[in-house]
């Protein structure tokens, strides 16, 4: 994989944000806030970290990405389209009758590893996948993205035990720690803090990262495994609705769809952000 | 697969024992056979498997949701996975994982529900699975199988190892005598097995209730009633062509299952018959929708008439109407 420069990656992030908003607006449905909070993580994973592409997607040696927070599917779809898994124009069918581009990932869409959407499922499946790699002495790694709001699902903690028991240092769980869920702040709904100490006590190696700092994300993932024989946890501190000022940290944008005027405003803000990034040459 | 017979002729073993020995035979020749247990290796008769093939045995502790999720991940990488746990927990607590991670995602896991139905007897309702057919029949993309005897168990597990599709198996604990002297039948998922030919009554049973159905058929013969007994080992997809044939041949149809009378084999058969305008005297035997009586499996069977006498009586009632 030819790696992108930091500036190229930054531009990708902005373009991805624009596409997320464009297709959510077109579909009149989508999980806007969470897609915007995790998009920088997906950008770095697909463009810098993971060995996965349309060409090797059938290979048993590819890296796996399993999106446990399936509702942020728009983020995944725009990245997969950009990587060439399917034509971007397919996304104009998002949430339409008979489209496979529905509100959660399904394997009917090229590039999607597992059907997700019910929370607390990605980690157990990822543990099984990472275990298969260990059994076969394969070098591929498994990345799974969890929402911070899905951590109360007990199956996560069952899987966290198994991951440590089998020393799955080829597994990386990333928490999109945007601190909000549909009802309100996670600290008020069902406090999950301290996430790091909980996972550490379960036998995981934990790193914190600014989930919108692409260089930091790259650096963090390149340090895997963080400790030999321990599963990796990246707590990515993010902002729900990141990149569109009126959406940032505002709960109604969890699955809010912008009006035409709001969309224009958001696009213009993102276009302005784009011009602040100088070209490499 | 070697040619050695896994089942010693004439000796009744629990289907679970046959499941375990068959799996050990398969694992000898295929390192992709993986067993996943949730502290269930003992009750699943899989301790010898774990000892012989430690690299092919994954233990997750008492965590059924994780059991199925992990199994799905392994299967997605080409492993032939048998996820083993008591049916009561597996198909209730981990139902969402079976629905999403196995069936919907099409990860070809063999979901093995052990000590199913009322096998746990006096342990009570927490340990009974009288809902599993109903729950799984309503989930797309999973085959539902309840082998009746050792022969069917061995055949089914061998076939499952070659089948790239999600399957749910339901096993009991009691020793099951093979239902036929010769074991020459071709075993296929979705194809019922005629155990006893007959033309007055069709008794369609599944799992451990086929045995009392066969006993009843022998008793009915003394009264010159000829009963066709079918082991409908695959509850989904249902062998509808056989059901049609039985309806054409017999005067009445009786179904028997170790399951709630709601949503299981009986309702599947009745739905098929009615929707195809096949009207026959019909009755479903199973566990009624009530607080299940307490006792051993046999006592529960006896209480609800799931025995030779009870089945024979139901047949007489059906034919006299």
| Domain chopping of chain B, boundaries | 13-176, 193-320
Please give the CATH architecture assigned to the domain spanning B13-176.
3-Layer(aba) Sandwich (3.40)
| Longest Cα separation, chain A | 54
- Evaluate if residue B236 carries a pLDDT over 60: yes
CA-based end-to-end distance of chain B: 51
Are B63 and A161 a contacting pair at CB < 8 A? yes
Q: What is the pLDDT of residue B321?
A: 62
Binary contact (A124, B97; C-beta < 8 A): yes
Average pLDDT over residues B242-246: 98
CA distances from B300 to A14, B171, B177, B286, B296 (A): 66, 17, 20, 11, 6
Which residue, among B145, B238, B157, has the nearest Cα to B191 in the 3D structure? B238
**pLDDT-above-70 percentage for chain B:** 97
Residue A125 has its nearest CB partner, among B55, B73, B78, at B73
Residue of B nearest to A159 (CA): B66
Q: Give the pLDDT of residue B182.
A: 85
What DSSP character marks residue B129? Answer: B
> B51 to chain A, minimum CA–CA distance in Å?
17
Q: Which whole number is the average pLDDT over B237-264? A: 98
Q: Please report the domains of chain A, with CATH numbers, ordered by start residue.
A: 6-275 (3.40.50.970)
- When pLDDT is cut at 50, 70 and 90, the band that residue B42 belongs to is confident
Tell me the chain B residues in contact with residue A136 when contact means C-beta distances shorter than 8 Å.
77
For residue B294, what are the β-bridge partners? none
Whole-number pLDDT of residue B43 = 84
Using CB atoms, which residue from B73, B96, B97 is nearest to A127? B73
**Chain A partners of B102 at a C-beta cutoff of 8 Å?**
none
Are A129 and B73 within 8 A, CB to CB?
Answer: yes
What DSSP state is assigned to residue A3?
P
ipTM for this prediction: 0.95
Closest residue in B to A62 (Cα–Cα)? B77
State the average pLDDT over residues A253-257: 94
Contacts of A123 in chain B (CB under 8 A): 69
Nearest chain B alpha carbon to A116? B100
pLDDT digits (tens, 9 = 90+) for B155-197: 999 999 999 999 999 999 999 999 998 888 999 999 999 999 9
Note the pLDDT of residue B105. Answer: 98
Output the average pLDDT for chain B. 95
Chain B closest-CA separation from residue A199 CA (Å): 17
pLDDT at B117 over 60: yes
pLDDT at B30 over 80: yes
Tens-place pLDDT, residues A19-30: 999 999 999 999
Evaluate if residue A36 carries a pLDDT over 60.
yes
Of the pLDDT bands very low, low, confident and very high (cuts 50, 70, 90), residue B6 is very low
> How much is the pLDDT for A2?
78
Say whether A116 and B100 touch across the interface (CB within 8 A). yes
Contact B101/A125, CB-based, under 8 Å? yes
- Which residues of A have a CB under 8 Å from any CB of B? 60, 106-107, 113-118, 120-121, 123-133, 135-136, 154-155, 158-159, 161-162, 166
The pTM for the full model equals 0.95
Summarize pLDDT for A108-154 with one digit per residue, the tens: 999 999 999 999 999 999 999 999 999 999 999 999 999 999 999 99
Tell me the average pLDDT across B3-20.
71
What pLDDT does residue B2 have? 34
**B63 contact residues in A (CB cutoff 8 A):** 155, 158, 161-162
Q: Is A127–B101 a contact, with Cβ atoms under 8 angstroms apart? A: no
Query: So what's the pLDDT on residue B286?
Result: 98
Distance of alpha carbon B54 from the chain centroid: 28
Burial class (CB in 10 A: 0-12, 13-18, 19+), B32: middle
SS3 A261: helix
pLDDT bracket for residue B5 (50, 70, 90): very low
Percent of chain A with pLDDT over 90: 98
| Nearest by CB: A155 against B55, B58, B66 | B66
Mean pLDDT confidence for B146-154: 97
Instruction: Please give, rounded to a whole number of angstroms, the shortest distance from the CA of B138 to a CA of chain A.
Output: 18
Q: What tokens appear for A76 in the block?
A: 């995944």
The rounded percent of chain A whose pLDDT value lies above 70 is 99
Chain B residue with minimal CA distance to A58? B77
Q: Is B197 exposed, middle or buried (0-12, 13-18, 19+ CB in 10 A)?
A: exposed
Q: How many contacts, defined by CB atoms under 8 Å, are there between A and B?
A: 99
Backbone angles phi, psi at B82, to 5 degrees: -120, 105
Instruction: Enumerate the residues of chain B whose CB falls inside 8 A of the CB of residue A128.
Output: 69-77
Distance CA A174, CA A171 (A): 10
pLDDT at B7: 43
Quick one: average pLDDT of A247-256?
A: 95
> What pLDDT is attached to residue B183?
82
Query: Rounded to 5 degrees, what are φ and ψ at A161?
Result: -65, -45
**Using a CB-CB distance cutoff of 8 angstroms, which residues of chain A are in contact with residue B107?**
114
The model's confidence at residue B4, banded by pLDDT at 50, 70 and 90, is very low
According to the model, what pLDDT value does residue B9 have? Answer: 53
Percent of chain B with pLDDT over 90: 93
- Check CB contact of B61 with chain A, cutoff 8 Å: yes
Nearest CB to A128; choose among B70, B96, B100: B70
Q: Exposure of B223 by Cβ count < 10 A (0-12 exposed, 13-18 middle, 19+ buried)?
A: exposed
Cα A92 from Cα A90, distance rounded (Å):
5
Say whether residue B98 is in contact with chain A using an 8 A CB cutoff.
no
Q: What is the pLDDT of residues A54-74, one digit of tens each?
A: 999 999 999 999 999 999 999
Residue among A116, A120, A128 whose CB faces B73 most closely: A128
**CATH annotation of B193-320:** 3.40.50.920
CB A91 within 8 A of CB A18: no
Contacts of B203 (CB under 8 A, 6+ apart): B213, B216, B217, B227, B228, B229, B230, B254, B255, B256, B311, B315
């Amino acid at each position: 994989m030819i790696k992108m420069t930091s500036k190229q990656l930054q531009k990708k992030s902005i373009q991805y944000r624009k596409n997320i908003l464009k297709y959510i607006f077109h579909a009149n449905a989508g999980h806007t806030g969470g897609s915007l909070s995790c998009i920088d993580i997906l950008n770095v994973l697909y463009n810098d970290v993971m060995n996965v592409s349309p060409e090797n997607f059938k290979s048993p040696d590819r890296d796996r990405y399993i999106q446990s927070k399936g509702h942020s599917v728009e983020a995944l779809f725009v990245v997969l389209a950009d990587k060439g898994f399917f034509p971007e124009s397919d996304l104009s069918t998002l949430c339409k009758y008979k489209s496979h581009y529905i509100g959660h990932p399904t394997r009917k869409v090229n590039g999607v590893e597992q059907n997700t959407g019910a929370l607390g499922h990605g980690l157990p499946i990822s543990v099984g996948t990472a275990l298969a790699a260990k059994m076969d002495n394969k070098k591929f790694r498994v990345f799974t993205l969890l929402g911070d709001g899905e951590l109360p699902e007990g199956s996560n903690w069952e899987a966290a035990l198994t991951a440590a028991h089998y020393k799955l240092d080829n597994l990386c769980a990333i928490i999109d720690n945007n601190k909000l869920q549909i009802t309100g702040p996670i600290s008020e709904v069902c406090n999950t803090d301290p996430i790091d100490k909980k996972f550490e006590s379960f036998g995981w190696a934990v790193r914190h990262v600014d989930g919108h700092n692409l260089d930091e994300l790259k650096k963090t993932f390149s340090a895997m495994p963080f400790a030999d024989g321990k599963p990796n946890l990246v707590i990515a501190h993010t902002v729900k609705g990141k990149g569109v000022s009126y959406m940032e940290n505002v709960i109604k944008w969890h699955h809010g769809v912008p009006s035409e005027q709001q969309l224009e405003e958001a696009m213009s803000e993102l276009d302005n952000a784009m011009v602040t990034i100088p070209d490499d040459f | 697969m070697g040619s050695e017979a896994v089942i010693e002729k004439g000796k009744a073993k629990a289907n679970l024992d046959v499941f375990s020995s068959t799996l050990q035979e398969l694992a000898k020749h295929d390192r992709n056979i993986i067993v996943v247990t949730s502290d269930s290796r003992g009750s699943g008769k899989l301790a010898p498997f774990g000892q012989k093939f430690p690299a092919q045995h994954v233990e997750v502790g008492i965590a059924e949701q994780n059991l199925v999720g992990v199994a799905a991940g392994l299967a997605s990488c080409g492993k032939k996975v048998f996820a083993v746990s008591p049916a009561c927990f597996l198909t209730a607590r981990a139902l969402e994982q079976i629905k999403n991670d196995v069936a919907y995602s099409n990860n070809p896991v063999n979901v093995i529900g052990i000590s199913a139905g009322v096998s746990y007897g006096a342990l009570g309702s927490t340990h009974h699975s009288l809902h599993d057919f109903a729950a799984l029949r309503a989930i797309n993309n999973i085959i539902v199988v309840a082998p009746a005897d050792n022969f069917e168990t061995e055949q089914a597990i061998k076939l499952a190892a070659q089948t790239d599709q999600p399957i749910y198996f339901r096993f009991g604990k009691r020793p099951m005598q093979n239902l036929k002297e010769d074991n020459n039948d071709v075993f296929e998922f979705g194809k019922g097995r005629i155990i006893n030919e007959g033309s007055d009554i069709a008794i369609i049973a599944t799992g451990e209730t086929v045995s009392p159905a066969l006993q009843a058929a022998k008793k009915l013969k003394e009264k010159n009633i000829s009963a066709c007994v079918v082991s409908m080992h695959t509850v989904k997809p249902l062998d509808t062509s056989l059901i049609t044939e039985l309806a054409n041949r017999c005067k009445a149809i009786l179904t028997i299952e170790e399951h709630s009378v709601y949503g299981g084999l009986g309702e599947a058969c009745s739905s098929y018959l009615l929707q195809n305008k096949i009207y026959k005297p019909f009755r479903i035997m199973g566990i009624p929708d009530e607080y299940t009586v307490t006792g051993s499996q046999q006592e529960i069977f006896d209480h609800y008439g799931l025995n030779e006498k009870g089945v024979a009586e139901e047949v007489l009632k059906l034919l006299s109407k």
